[in-house]
Structure 1
C-alpha cells in the first residue's frame, strides 16, 4: 500500500523484527524480570542519564496515562496544549482512567509557552479548581513542529518554580532529536523533564512504548500541588493497575533495545554508525522535507498552501477538497481540518522510516495530476 497517512502504517523494521526473534530463544522470567529488560535498563541510563528508569508498556496512550497519574494527585490537573493528543485524541483517557482534569492552553503551530503555565498558576490552592500538577508537552507536536532545547528549559523551569512536574509525550521524540541534531538526553533530562512517554511504534517498532522516569524525589515527599514525588515508586503499580504490564515484557523490551542500541554502543552518530532510532527518524524527516521541496519545485504552491513549518516527518497543507479526494484514490492520507473556504481542506502527509524517494516523487506527480 502506498500511503502518506501515518507512520503507524509502516511495517516493523527488520532490525526490530530480528531482535524480537532473538528474544524468543527459550523461556525467560515474566513481567520484565528477564535479561533483555535488564539490558534495556542499562541502556536507558546510557541514553538518558544515570537516574533514568525505563518501564516498557503496551501503547502510547497507556504511557501517557501512567506518566500523568504518577506525576499528579487524584485531584490534579494537566496543563497541555489545545491540540495535544492527551486532550484531543485519547478519548479522554487521562480524565476517564487517570481522573485528571486536562487544562488546555492555546497553542501557536502546536507549541505553547510559559504563559500556558502562568494561565493556571493562580488556581494553586483554590479548592474550587483542579490543582495544576503537571505540564505535558508533545515533542514533536501534533502539528509537526519541534520545541528547541532552550524552549524546553524555559518551560520546565517555569513549571518547576511553582511545583509542577514536566512530562513529555515523546511518541515522535526521535524525530525531534534528529531535527535538532541532538541526542535524546539533550531534549529530556538535560532540560529538566521529569518523565517521558517514549515512542517506538511510529519509529520502526511493532507493539509497545515506554515510560521513562528521568527525575525522581524522595518517596512520600510532596510538590506544591500535592503530587507524589516518588515517580519510580509509583509507575510499577500504575502500569499493572492500568493493564499496561505485559507478561512477556521481554518482547517489548527487545524492540526498544533494538531502537536505542545495545549497552556500550554509541548513543549518537551518523550514517550506519548511528543507533536505529536516529537512522529511522533522520530518514522519515528527510522524506517530508523532500515532499515539501517537490511540491514547491513543481509550482503547486499557488493552489497547495503549506500551513505549518515542516520540521519533522510531516507536511500540512490546504488544497481543493476535490483534488485531495482525487489524489487519495492513489495514495492514502488523512484530512486534518477544514480549509480556508468550504471547497478546501487541510490535509496531513506523513512520512515513515520506510517511505522512499520514489514514493515521495510519485506522489508529487499524483498531486499535480489531481490539481
Structure 2
C-alpha cells in the first residue's frame, strides 16, 4: 500500500540521487570482499578528513548495530550505561543493547532529551560496590530524540566528567549531520575536538540507502573490534556498496546540504504551525524535528493525507520529521490540511 505524504520519519525518505549514482558506479567490475577494495579505502580517507587521522572506522548495516557493537566494545557485562529515558538505545532497540552487552541501562528523566553531569553523578555512589552495576559509559544522542541539539560545550563537559571518573562518552549520531548543520559547525567540532570516545555515525536518515559507521577516537578502544563486528553479523561481504555511499556522502558537502535543507523545512513547518492558535510547539526546533500539541480530534483525519506519529497519546503531542527531500509545497500542503480539518471540526 502506498504511504501518503508524510512527516513521520526521515527514514521514510528515499535515497539521494548522488548516493544512487555512487552505488551504481561501485557495481561495475569485481573487487575483493569484506572491505579490501578501493571504495572502502576512499571512504575511510573521507572519514579521516572530517574526523582526524587518529580514528578507527568500521561500517555496519544499521544504527542499532552501530550502537550495540560500539557499546559492547567498551564495556563489560557488569557495567552500567547512563542515558536519557527517551534514548533510542533505551526505547527503540528492542532491548538489544542490554541483551548483547549484558550491561544495565541507567536512565535519567529528560524533558528535552539531554542529560547533565549532575544527573550522571547520582550513579557514582555505585563505584566499587560489588552489588551494583559499575557506571562505565555516558551515552547521548545528537540530535536528541526530542529534536534538540547538544552544544560543543555541553558535550565537552560530559566527556571531561566521564574521563575524570574512568568512564567513556558514547554518542548516538544518527542525526549528527543535522546537529552540525544547525550549529554551523564541522563534524569534528562535535566529536573529535570535545572528547567523544565512540560515535555511531548515521547516514540512512540523511540520504543513504543503508549503512552506518562506528568510529573510535582512540585506537586503543577498538582493538579486536573487527572480530566483534563479524561475530555480531555486521561484516558485509560486498562492503563497497556501503563505502561508496559514505564516500559520496562526505564529498562536496552533500551531508551538510541535505541536513541544512531538512532543518530549514522544519523551521518553515514550525513557523507555519505557530500561526494556528490551537497548536503549540513543545520543544525548541533546532534540527529536523518539530514536536507539537495537536487537537486530538483532528489527528486521524490529517494522518489520512499526511502521515505522522503521535508521540504522546495522553497529551496529543505529535512528532513531525522533515527530510533532505521535503519540499516547501509539502509543508504548505500539510499546514493547509490541518487548517481545513480544523474548520470541519
TM-score by length of 2: 0.96
Aligned residue for 2:290? Answer: 315
1-side partners of 2:124 and 2:112: how far apart? 23
2-side partners of 1:190 and 1:363: how far apart? 40
User: 1:97 aligns to what SS in structure 2?
Assistant: helix
Say if 2:272 is the partner of 1:294.
yes
Runs of 4 or more, structure 1, over 6 Å off, are none
Say if 2:184 is the partner of 1:181.
yes
How many Å apart are 1:257 and its aligned residue?
A: 1.3
Stretches of structure 1 lacking an aligned partner (at least 5 in a row): 217-229, 262-273
Select the residue among 309, 318, 339 that pairs with 1:347: 318
2-side partners of 1:81 and 1:235: how far apart? 26
Say if 2:38 is the partner of 1:63.
no
2-side partners of 1:113 and 1:359: how far apart? 37
Aligned residue for 1:239? Answer: 229
Q: How does 1:20-99 map to 2 (within 5 A)?
A: 20-99=23-102
Aligned residue for 2:262? Answer: 284
1-side partners of 2:127 and 2:240: how far apart? 42
User: 2:6 aligns to what SS in structure 1?
Assistant: coil
Say if 2:303 is the partner of 1:328.
yes
1-side partners of 2:264 and 2:218: how far apart? 33
Aligned residue for 2:329? Answer: 358
For residues 307-343 of structure 1, give each alpha carbon's deviation from its aligned partner in whole angstroms, at most 9, with x where no partner exists: 1111100101111222111111110111111344xxx
How many Å apart are 1:44 and its aligned residue?
A: 1.1
Q: How does 1:169-248 map to 2 (within 5 A)?
A: 169-216=172-219, 230-248=220-238
How many Å apart are 1:42 and its aligned residue?
A: 1.2
Aligned length: 339
Aligned residue for 2:165? Answer: 162
User: 2:189 aligns to what SS in structure 1?
Assistant: helix
Say if 2:316 is the partner of 1:338.
no
Stretches of structure 2 lacking an aligned partner (at least 5 in a row): none
2-side partners of 1:240 and 1:124: how far apart? 33
Answer yes or no: is the 8 Å Cα contact 1:319–1:339 preserved in 2: no
Q: How does 1:255-274 map to 2 (within 5 A)?
A: 255-261=245-251, 274=252
User: 1:285 aligns to what SS in structure 2?
Assistant: helix
For residues 224-274 of structure 1, give each alpha carbon's deviation from its aligned partner in whole angstroms, at most 9, with x where no partner exists: xxxxxx32213212111111111111101111111112xxxxxxxxxxxx5
For residues 126-169 of structure 1, give each alpha carbon's deviation from its aligned partner in whole angstroms, at most 9, with x where no partner exists: 11111111111100000000000000010110111001111100
For residues 283-312 of structure 1, give each alpha carbon's deviation from its aligned partner in whole angstroms, at most 9, with x where no partner exists: 00000000011112xx31x21111111110
1-side partners of 2:135 and 2:340: how far apart? 51
TM-score by length of 1: 0.90
User: 1:198 aligns to what SS in structure 2?
Assistant: strand
